[in-house]
Amino acid sequence: MNAPLRVILFLLLPLVFFVGCQSETETDTSQGPQYGDQPIEPLKPLYRLAVHPLHNPSKLSEAYQPLIDYLNQQITDVHFELEASRDYQVYEAKFRARDSEFLLPNPWQTLEAIKLGYHVIAMAGNAEDFKGLFIVRKDGGIKTPADLKGKVVSYPSRTALAACIMPQYYLHLHGIDVNRDIENRYVGSQESSIMNAYLGQSAAGATWPPPWRLFQRDHPNEAAELTVAWETPSLLNNSVMARDDVPASIRDSVRALILALDTTPEGQAILAGMETARFNAADDASYDAVRNYVAEFEKSVRPVEQK
């Protein structure tokens, strides 16, 4: 082969390679739509139920996921999910950002959420069950509120109504200066508050009936060394709330389903897992009594939130 011909072939090789690659690419992309034997389901609208930290996230999921499953079975054109929070501060940040469509907050959080466009559609549990408990060791020597002076009292959070605000108001009414006579320790969860009392890290742990019943069930040996020293008067229970942009049909369907849970064996099993007797009818105005209670607490004891 003479030199000029070799030069021509050398120059043509890249062009041949490029044309071949282009042809292969066109073949790959010209195959058209890909078909399978499974239809593609359209995405369903998502609705999240954010439950305040009654328990740690694992136990909260165990207690409330059956309710979510039930709602998904009954309302099939949307999808419900449970949203847990590791502590009260994280939960309160979520509803202040209007992140979740449905809430199950405590009564003080209910008042805060009303300001942000959420509205009460039911009350979770009976009002009689919403009260503060003081858990102490049987061998701890705590007999009267005065015995707590100079000692530690544990609570889940500053904003826990039944497990902090109501117990602190109880102590105030029994002659304890909550801000000076005791050390208030906020430990993050109901179980932690009880465990602080069990371990002797606090002289009393504040909680409320559902977590105490659950603790007795899950930790019978530890619970046997504890007792309820005192309990506060009752107030309204936790609410169920819907954000103001949830379609009325979805909101009303959820309300109807939860209000009827106690009428069927399946619903009663769901309620039992949540340590809730039933859901009761309620609206925003139902929580006016809580607003008055909190106003008196803040006047007499301390601000609910730490600024």
Of 53-67, 137-151, 170-184, 189-203, minimum mean pLDDT range: 53-67
**pLDDT recorded at residue 32:** 44
Task: State yes or no: pLDDT of 307 exceeds 80.
Answer: no
Task: State yes or no: pLDDT of 7 exceeds 70.
Answer: no
Q: What string of DSSP letters covers 31-55? A: S-----SSPPPPPPPEEEEEE--SS
pLDDT tens-digit map of 133-146: 999 999 999 999 99
Beta carbons of 64 and 26 less than 8 angstroms apart: no
**pLDDT recorded at residue 41:** 54
pLDDT tens-digit map of 27-36: 444 444 444 4
Beta carbons of 108 and 304 less than 8 angstroms apart: yes
Task: State yes or no: pLDDT of 184 exceeds 60.
Answer: yes
pTM for this one? 0.81
Average pLDDT over residues 287-305: 96
Closest by CA to 194, choosing from 160, 170, 169, is 160
Q: Which domains does the chain have, with CATH numbers?
A: 46-127+236-300 (3.40.190.10), 133-231 (3.40.190.10)
Task: State yes or no: pLDDT of 3 exceeds 80.
Answer: no
**pLDDT recorded at residue 21:** 44
**pLDDT recorded at residue 56:** 81
**pLDDT recorded at residue 54:** 83
What is the band of 207 on the pLDDT scale with cuts at 50, 70, 90?
A: very high
What is the band of 26 on the pLDDT scale with cuts at 50, 70, 90?
A: very low
Closest by CA to 188, choosing from 304, 26, 2, 54, is 54
Beta carbons of 277 and 127 less than 8 angstroms apart: no
Burial-class residue 214 by CB neighbours within 10 Å (0-12, 13-18, 19+): buried
Task: State yes or no: pLDDT of 287 exceeds 50.
Answer: yes
Residue type at 217? R
Task: State yes or no: pLDDT of 69 exceeds 60.
Answer: yes
Q: How far is CA 275 from CA 20, 204, 219, 253, in A?
A: 70, 23, 16, 23
Rounded Cα gap, residues 191 and 262, in angstroms: 27
Rounded Cα gap, residues 30 and 28, in angstroms: 6
Residue type at 25? T
Of 25-29, 71-75, 293-297, minimum mean pLDDT range: 25-29
| Ramachandran sector of residue 125 (left: φ over 0; alpha: ψ -120 to 50; beta: rest) | left
pLDDT over 90 percentage in the chain: 81
pLDDT tens-digit map of 249-264: 999 999 999 999 999 9
Average pLDDT over residues 9-32: 44
